[in-house]
Amino acid sequence: MGTIGVWLIGAQGSLASTVVVGARAIARGLAGRGALVTELAEVAKLPLAEFDRLVFGGWDVAPTGLLARARTMTHDDRALPPGLVDALADDLREVEARVRPGVVEGGGPATRALARSAFVGRRTSLAAAAERLGNDLDTFRRTHGLDTVVVVNLASTEPPIALGPEHQRLDRLRQAIQQNRTSRVTASMLYAYAALERGCPYVNFTPSVGIAPPALQELGVKHHVPFYGSDGKTGETLMKTVLAPLFRYRNLEVLSWEGFNILGGGDGRVLADPRHKRSKVRSKGGVIASTLGYAPHAGVAIEYVPSLGNWKTAWDYIHFRGFLGTKMTAQFIWEGCDSILAAPLVLDLVRLTEFAQRKGEAGPMPHLACFFKDPLGVSVHAFTEQVKMLLDYVERHARAARNGAKRRR
Ligand SMILES: NC(=O)c1ccc[n+]([C@@H]2O[C@H](COP(=O)([O-])OP(=O)(O)OC[C@H]3O[C@@H](n4cnc5c(N)ncnc54)[C@H](O)[C@@H]3O)[C@@H](O)[C@H]2O)c1
């Protein structure tokens, strides 16, 4: 195995910075491997890429650099251990130098306001922007002699878009790009298009539309690359998909499940705009009804509290009916550091996606459903059932490797 490129969309955000800090800290022996799913004994059977083989780059549209962001996360947010970012400052500067201007068109009002004029201009046509993005990936691959480049979307959440006929087939999507129909092709779609067109595996960790259009999935299959999404399952929704089966299998009727979230940081600021918030509410909202088999009253509220920085608190109130109709409640409070929860999962996804590509697999990767709030093509949301899909996948590969070794003997 040679070196693997990891190209982060939103490369200077809190999550992306934490991903880079984490990978470089592990590679340099400055941090342990706790919280990585790929380091569980059951999953570590796979020959996955080591952290010192990962080379990072990416796109962003904001002026704040990766190193400055990591420093803010250390000193203001108390999200990263003191001293770690200073110890890795040269590594972070190297990655920052590889961050290329992204596209803002279609990313929504809250992110357009962030973008610096030096980045790809609003008057650049979609076709020219797709070409430029694709060239960035090719240059990255060539310059560093990379075996592959895994592209991961970690950019701010876009407002949702209703998919239309132009999103259903690749020829129609290509036409929409050529005709510069900017209202129908969002930034996250254009990034996914550029990645898949250049044969790069793609993962959407955000609730933005990304890989959802069938036209883009057709492109991934055409170029024989694996892809998946969407929206990393890291906190409140993870708890929901663990707890909902409890109510289902004890035959306790859930009457209402209300979730109240407060968060700060760049994500919180963008989600404060109701147009952007709709994407997050939608991806968080689907898990309860599908696990219970019926739809109780289930609200999801998200509020921006700037002073929280990278920290998030969720309070969930579950009202349920027990034996003889008696009503009871369960409540939980989840207080987490957003990027610290998400970054190891992003690294897991990079390693598992690179492995899938190395094994010649293409198309959606349903075995990765346990990492997502809205897993592509998988209606099972119960966490342990999703984890079983991953473990079955690992076992299939481990068995094939054992049989291959026996045959060679
Ligand atoms: N626990 C988690 O952190 C978690 C879980 C699930 C999903 N997510 C998603 O991950 C994303 C990143 O979260 P974050 O906390 O790092 O947010 P952030 O605001 O700190 O970072 C987002 C970055 O994306 C950049 N960006 C915005 N529009 C862009 C565009 N069009 N092209 C390229 N870059 C663009 C911004 O400049 C910023 O640097 C969000 O969409 C969030 O919803 C995060």
What's the pLDDT tens digit per position in 56-98? 999 999 888 999 999 999 999 999 998 999 999 999 999 999 9
Per the model's pLDDT, the better-predicted residue between 124 and 107 turns out to be 124
- The percent of residues above 90 in pLDDT, for the chain, comes to 89
Nearest CA to ligand 1 atom 42: 206
CA distance 184 to 149: 27
- Residue 342 near ligand 1, beta carbon < 6 Å: yes
CA distance 129 to 268: 28
- Residue 205 near ligand 1, beta carbon < 6 Å: yes
Residue 190 has pLDDT above 90, yes or no: yes
pLDDT of residue 191: 98
- Which atom from ligand 1 is nearest to the alpha carbon of 155? 24
Give the Å distances, CA to CA, from 315 to 139, 269, 329. 46, 20, 13
Section 115-125 average pLDDT: 62
Parallel, antiparallel, or unpaired for β 226-229 and 363-364? parallel
pTM of the full predicted structure?
A: 0.97
CA distance 308 to 264: 5
Mutate to test the pocket of ligand 1, among 154, 186, 263 (most ligand atoms within 8 A of CB): 154
pLDDT of residue 373: 97
pLDDT of residue 63: 85
Please count the other Cβ atoms lying within 10 Å of the Cβ belonging to residue 385: 15
302, β-bridge pairs: 261
Query: 393 CA distance to ligand 1 centroid (A)?
Result: 29
- Residue 382 near ligand 1, beta carbon < 6 Å: no
Q: Provide the pLDDT confidence category of residue 210 given band limits of 50, 70 and 90.
A: very high
Task: Compute the mean pLDDT over every residue in the chain, rounded to the nearest whole number.
Answer: 95
Residue 113 has pLDDT above 90, yes or no: no
Query: For residue 364, which of 354, 350, 348, 375 has the smallest C-alpha distance?
Result: 375
CA distance 341 to 334: 12
Q: What are phi and psi of 319, to 5 degrees?
A: -105, 120
pLDDT of residue 123: 72
Query: For residue 366, which of 227, 248, 175 has the smallest C-alpha distance?
Result: 227
pLDDT of residue 120: 59
Q: Are 262 and 303 in contact (CB under 8 A)?
A: yes
What's the pLDDT tens digit per position in 322-365? 999 999 999 999 999 999 999 999 999 999 999 999 999 999 99
What type of residue is 125? S
- Which atom from ligand 1 is nearest to the alpha carbon of 188? 31
Cα atoms in the Cβ-side hemisphere of radius 13 Å centred on 408: 6
pLDDT of residue 117: 41
